[in-house]
């Protein structure tokens, strides 16, 4: 959410920032509501002062026997009391309307974010690894003989519908090993705190991280008002919801492995084959809570944590900065990491690492007390996939596939697979 004072002080600058997001003349309606809200508050305060003044005079008029003045003052007190109540109600209504409007507006992007319309305008900043040359036609993950028997889309469709999968055997174990490998690496080597959180959250938690009100259609809501998390970003970030912490509490770095749920609204007909885009999937999520002066540095550190997983798995990737037309609603800057998928002959997103600055903290009312004293300030929050487990499974299968239909598994995973090194064309882990 945005600071209304910043918009008041520099409406032209705010409009320019929103124009990069495709939002025109954003400040006029905001400032109009704000002016009306402030006028209602001032009217209520003035009426309250007049009510208090008249109330003090009522007793004196009664004591002096001036019945006419007593009745006039008593009527004035009642009139002002009603006016105060009316204006306070109006101010609350306008405040709620203003908050709702501010909640709908995206974050102001960092100056480093390149202009662009869509993902084609994202800017590559580095590339790691060289895609392996294969002397056969590489297959997509769901076509590889080693994986075919362990990926059952028909049974999943019977159980739940489209965009679900039932995994079994070697594929299921590989999927589990990947998640464990990611967690252990982030904890032991990157200093993140392992965290286990619910996947059902209150509605205000979804507001806190920006999934609501604008993107409710992208998530699932239960009949009793809980929401299924689209990512552990929601729970991990909201740990500091409503808190004011000491500066030495910062930074906080969390990692969690959870089930995630997305409706995939608007993606009809896109990535329908295989398990690239699912309604239910697993992700190892990283969240950092930092001092404002450290958030951009933390962004680079978190990107490095995600990249390190791919490097250990010997999976080629490239890292891009998202352009203005592709960046997420609540973020000021995002790095996407795209892993090489030989079956598709292209790079596909496997992680987004983003910095929200104080956008989420304002929605959550999360602050810190500066060590040198002074007024509490809003925290900065960041989040990133470390990594999407299912997509990592796809990358391991496709990059490790062999001409005979088997899959060679990354050496880094062998300890998490009981020393097993490959999946045979028949689907056995050996």
Q: Which two tokens stand for residue 203?
A: 């509605």
- Return the pLDDT at 309: 98
Are 391 and 180 a contacting pair, CB within 8 Å? Answer: no
Q: Of these residues, 173, 262, 362, 367, which one is catalytic?
A: 262
**Is residue 254 within 8 Å of 179, Cβ to Cβ?**
no
Return the pLDDT at 249: 96
277 is an active site residue: yes
User: Measured between alpha carbons, how far is 243 from 229 in angstroms, rounded to an integer?
Assistant: 21
Residue 180 and residue 326: Cα distance in Å, rounded? 31
Which structural domain range is residue 135 located in? 119-423
State whether 72 and 136 are in the same domain.
no
We report the CATH number of the domain holding residue 300 as: 3.30.930.10
Total count of domains within the chain: 2
Residue 112 lies in a domain: no
Helical ranges in 238-373 per DSSP H: 295-312, 359-364
User: CA 10 to CA 25: how far, in whole Å?
Assistant: 13
Binding residues for ATP, by number, are 262-264, 349-352
pLDDT of residue 137: 97
Strand ranges for 28-172 from DSSP E: 123-128, 151-152, 166-167
Predicted pLDDT of residue 53 = 86
Given 253, 391, 398, 422, which residue is catalytic? 391
Which tokens go with 368? 């810190």
Please give the C-alpha separations between residue 140 and each of 4, 30, 282, 345, 393, in angstroms, as whole numbers. 50, 50, 20, 9, 12
Active site residue 97: no
Q: Which of 352, 354, 363, 367 is catalytic?
A: 352
352 is catalytic: yes
Binding residues for L-serine: 231-233, 285, 385
| Least confident interval from 265-269, 282-286, 326-330, 336-340 | 265-269
- Greatest Cα-to-Cα distance within the chain, rounded to the nearest angstrom: 109
Residue 10: which CATH number? Answer: 1.10.287.40
Q: How far apart are CA 255 and CA 191, in angstroms?
A: 10
Residues 233 and 344 in one domain: yes
User: Which entry of 277, 318, 324, 377 is annotated as an active-site residue?
Assistant: 277
Same domain? For 260 and 143 the reply is: yes
Last residue of a domain, one of 104, 130, 163: 104
Q: What is the pLDDT of residues 321-379, one digit of tens each?
A: 999 999 999 999 999 999 999 999 999 999 999 999 999 999 999 999 999 999 999 99
Q: Evaluate whether 257 touches 183 at the Cβ level (below 8 Å).
A: yes
Taking CA atoms, 10 is separated from 4, 6, 35, 363, in Å, by: 10, 6, 15, 21
- Both 252 and 218 in a single domain? yes
Residues 88 and 126 in one domain: no
SS3 276: coil
pTM: 0.92
Q: Is 262 a catalytic residue?
A: yes
DSSP annotation of 273: S
């Amino acid at each position: 959410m945005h600071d209304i004072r910043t918009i008041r002080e520099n409406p032209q600058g705010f409009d320019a920032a929103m124009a990069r997001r495709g939002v025109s003349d954003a400040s006029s309606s905001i400032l109009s509501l704000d002016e009306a809200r402030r006028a209602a508050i001032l009217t209520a305060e003035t009426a309250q002062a007049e009510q208090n003044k008249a109330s003090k005079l009522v007793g004196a008029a009664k004591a002096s026997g001036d019945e006419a003045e007593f009745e006039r003052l008593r009527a004035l007190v009642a009139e002002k009391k009603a006016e105060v109540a009316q204006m306070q109600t109006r101010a609350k209504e306008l405040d709620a309307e203003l908050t709702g409007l501010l909640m709908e507006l995206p974050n102001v992007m960092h100056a480093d974010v390149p202009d662009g319309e869509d993902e084609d305008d994202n800017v590559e900043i580095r590339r790691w690894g060289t895609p392996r040359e294969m002397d056969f036609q590489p297959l997509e993950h769901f076509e590889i003989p080693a994986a075919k028997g362990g990926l059952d889309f028909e049974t999943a469709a019977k159980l739940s519908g489209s965009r679900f999968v039932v995994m079994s055997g070697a594929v299921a174990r590989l999927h589990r090993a990947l998640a464990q490998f990611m967690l252990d690496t982030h904890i032991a080597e990157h200093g993140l705190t392992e965290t286990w959180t619910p996947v059902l959250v209150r509605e205000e938690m979804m507001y806190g991280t920006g999934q609501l009100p604008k993107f409710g259609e992208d998530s699932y809501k239960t009949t009793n008002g809980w929401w299924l998390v689209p990512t552990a970003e929601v729970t991990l970030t909201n740990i500091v919801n409503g808190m004011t912490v000491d500066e030495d509490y910062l930074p906080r770095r969390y990692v969690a492995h959870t089930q995630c749920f997305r409706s995939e609204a608007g993606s009809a007909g896109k990535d329908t084959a295989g398990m690239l885009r699912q309604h239910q999937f697993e992700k190892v999520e990283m969240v950092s809570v930092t001092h404002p002066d450290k958030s951009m540095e933390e962004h680079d550190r978190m990107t490095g944590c995600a990249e390190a997983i791919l490097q250990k798995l010997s999976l080629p990737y490239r890292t891009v900065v998202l352009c203005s037309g592709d960046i997420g609603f609540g973020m000021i800057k995002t790095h996407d990491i795209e892993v090489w998928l030989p079956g598709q002959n292209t790079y596909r997103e496997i992680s987004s690492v983003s910095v929200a600055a104080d956008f989420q903290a304002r929605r959550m009312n999360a602050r810190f007390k500066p060590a040198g004293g002074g007024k509490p300030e809003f925290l900065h929050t960041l989040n990133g996939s470390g990594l999407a487990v299912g997509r990592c499974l796809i990358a391991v299968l496709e990059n490790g596939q062999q001409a005979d239909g088997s899959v060679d598994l990354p050496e880094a995973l062998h300890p998490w697979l009981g020393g097993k090194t490959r999946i045979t064309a028949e689907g056995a882990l050996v």
